[in-house]
Structure 1
């Protein structure tokens, strides 16, 4: 394919949408949404708990979405803590730990399915390359912001 921009952007977008659909399908039976998957996953990775701000940084979701997700998880008995209080730490309950373990196991299965035809070396190179591309794009974006004067001057 000659159009590298299209290949890159469409493949990344398609993978992102597929991951969202998989998260939604996996969590739907618990009457939760994709945003809850990432909250549960990260809270499981941080057994001492996390603040809403920390969850925002880890999930790349905005504060309002995370606050709503935490409130819903708390109402269903999956977490303890009040996201509305400044710097309140949110932790998993036993029930939440069980669901988070399920989420983690299903995520591992999805990742394994996605990379099933890759060798360990290919998988390692893929993630190294993906992280490098992401870092380069972040750097490019920061440079654009710094160098941006009047965007309409160049048009």
Structure 2
């Protein structure tokens, strides 16, 4: 999976985690915090923070801190980051077209509905477990 994630963006020397963060940031052009990004990616906040710092050094993302306070500032993509995000989205579409070519639209919709239901139920279960353990 990691090879598929990084295919097409090799010249940027990105890891699968970089690619995932760029993809998620592209879904949130208004910007999101490191905490939100970590939650969406299902990754450790410290690991995502390091990844974001790396993306900033690569000039693919920036912290939007107009008042000078960057703590909890939203992370946004730069123009270069947006270009890479477009390549990533194109690759994802290509992969889905190839692996799902024998699946009807109805089957695909059913699959995503089922997957969404399972994800929601897992999220509710995790919330319940966390509340019970407090």
Question: Which of the five TM-score ranges fits, normalised by the shorter chain?
Answer: 0.7 to 0.9
Q: For 1:100, which of 74, 78, 85 is the aligned residue?
A: 85
1:45 Cα deviation after fit: 1.4
Specify the alignment match of 1:127 in structure 2: 112
Specify the alignment match of 1:116 in structure 2: 101
Q: Distance in 1 between matches of 2:132 and 2:45?
A: 29
User: What's the RMSD between the two structures over aligned residues?
Assistant: 2.4
Q: TM-score, normalised by structure 2?
A: 0.80
What are the Cα deviations for residues 14-48 of structure 1, in whole angstroms up to 9, with x where unaligned? xxxx3x34214444442111111111111111112
Q: How does 1:8-87 map to 2 (within 5 A)?
A: 18=1, 20-81=2-63, 85-87=70-72
Return 5+ residue gaps in structure 2 as ranges: 65-69
Preserved contact between residue 44 and residue 100 of structure 1 (Cα < 8 Å): yes
SS at the partner of 1:50?
coil
Q: Distance in 2 between matches of 1:136 and 1:43?
A: 25
Return 5+ residue gaps in structure 1 as ranges: 1-17, 149-155
Q: Distance in 1 between matches of 2:73 and 2:31?
A: 9
Which structure has more relative contact order (CA 8 Å, sep 6+)? It is 2
Larger CA Rg, structure 1 vs 2: 1
SS at the partner of 1:49?
coil
Q: TM-score, normalised by structure 1?
A: 0.70
Shifted more, 35-44 versus 23-32: the winner is: 23-32
Q: Distance in 1 between matches of 2:58 and 2:106?
A: 42
